[in-house]
Amino acid sequence: MLKVGLTGGIGCGKSTAVRRFRELGAPVIEADLVAREVVAVGQPALQEIVECFGSHALQADGALDRAWLRQTVFSDPVRLQQLESILHPRIRAEILARIAACTDSAYVIVDVPLLFEKGYTQLFERILVIDCLPDQQVLRVRQRDGSDGSVIASIMQSQIGREARLQQAHDIISNTASITDFYEKIDDLNFKYIKLSNA
């Protein structure tokens, strides 16, 4: 089974690509979803976060207070490192377990927004980057969730640069034209991955 890591900058169309791959019958594992599940109430990671950050890290209902935690680690590299050392080994292990469970498929797509930034490249045989122009990224994120231009810019700066992302990709889908064009490129890649898997 071929293991494909899917990534791309904010607003490039990762979610749309994921939806299309699902429609084509490919199993998709979403790292963001896994990240939420490993810190659910009753999970060891949540307990460890509380031990490390104190009870401020919890909401009144016992769930993780993401906003507080984000604020706490945002400008403190040491705290961020502590949080990541709790989360990333668990996220990685869970992703690997879910990949191993996809035995009936020619290939599996793993959607990892920070694939390069967090060192996930070695988990995959192919890296697929969804790409568009920086101006399009800003416009799409604005339309999607009304974010302020400066907020979008700071998110884009926190991600690996576009050139570096494209240089490390095995496959690139340019999402600069119509949705029909985008879907056709994904459909072509679906056939390519099935072929590669069979080979």
Mark the binding-site residues for ATP, compressed into ranges.
Answer: 11-16
Can you give the length of the chain in residues?
199
The H-assigned helical ranges of the chain are: 14-23, 31-38, 44-53, 66-74, 77-101, 134-145, 149-158, 162-167, 179-198
Backbone angles phi, psi at 165, to 5 degrees: -65, -45
**Which segments are annotated as binding site?**
11-16
> Positive or negative CA dihedral for 8, 10, 184, 174?
negative
Rounded CA-CA distance 109/194 in Å is 12
Question: Residue 40 has which token pair?
Answer: 């659910």
Question: Residue 161 has which token pair?
Answer: 């640069």
| CB distance 72 to 79 below 8 Å | yes
Backbone angles phi, psi at 107, to 5 degrees: -150, 160
